[in-house]
Amino acid sequence: MTTTSKNRHTETQQPHWIEWMTGAVSAVLILGMVAWIAGEALVQEVTAPSFRSQVRAITVVEGGHRVEFEISNQGTTTAAAVVVRAEIMEAGRPAETAEVTFDYVPGNSKANGGVIFAQDPAGREIRLRAIGYTDP
């Protein structure tokens, strides 16, 4: 409880046990946060961004074929402005190329995006590759 009198607040002297309880739980939560972050900082090895992409769905849309994909950053460092090039491969050579840029792919996290091909990629291999990034 707090007692307010003309903009003067005085905390009560005999607080309810719930106040102490909440305080204790809060302290545990905050220490937990600090411990988690410190733990990651101490234990986890810092690795540069490295990407893996996977096609999730191909749908026919107005003016082409949309390929939705997921890109995951396996490194612990966040990458910004990640350029992903998507190619439809035909006999070992790219038949069509599309590019998309992700603002951020955080470390150990995923991001989703899509490209739109004019050709139908059905039956052919789609190659997805991150070709560059910057440090945020």
Partner 1 sequence: MDEDVAVAGTVSRGERDPDEARRFLIGLGRGAAGALIFGVPMLMTMELWFLGFYIERYRLLLLLIANIPLLILLAHRVGFEETFTWREAIRDATIAYGIALVMSALVLTLFGSIRPDMLLMEVLGKIAIQAVPASIGALLGRSQLGGELDKSEQQDEENKGSEVSTGYGRELFMMAVGALFLSLNVAPTEEIILIAFKMTPWHAIALLVLSIVLMHGFVYAVAFRGTHELTKETPGWHAFIRFTLPGYVVAIAISLYVLWTFGRLDDVAFGQILTFAIVLGFPASIGAAAARLIL
Chain residues binding partner 1 by CB under 8 A are: 1-11, 13, 15-16, 18-20, 22-27, 29-30, 33-34, 36-38, 40-41, 78, 80, 103-104, 106-112, 136
Q: Which is nearer to partner 1, 8 or 93 (CB)?
A: 8
The strand order across the sheet containing 51-61 reads 51-61, 64-73, 110-117
Residue 126 near residue 87, CB atoms below 8 Å? yes
Residues 6+ apart with CB under 8 A from 136: 78, 79, 80, 104
Rounded distance between C-alpha atoms, residue 31 and residue 25, angstroms: 10
Closest distance of CB 25 from partner 1, Å? 8
Provide the minimum distance between the beta carbon of 97 and partner 1 in the complex, in angstroms, as a whole number.
26
| Of residues 14 and 123, the one with the C-beta less far from partner 1 | 14
- Output the smallest distance, CB 26 to partner 1, in A: 4
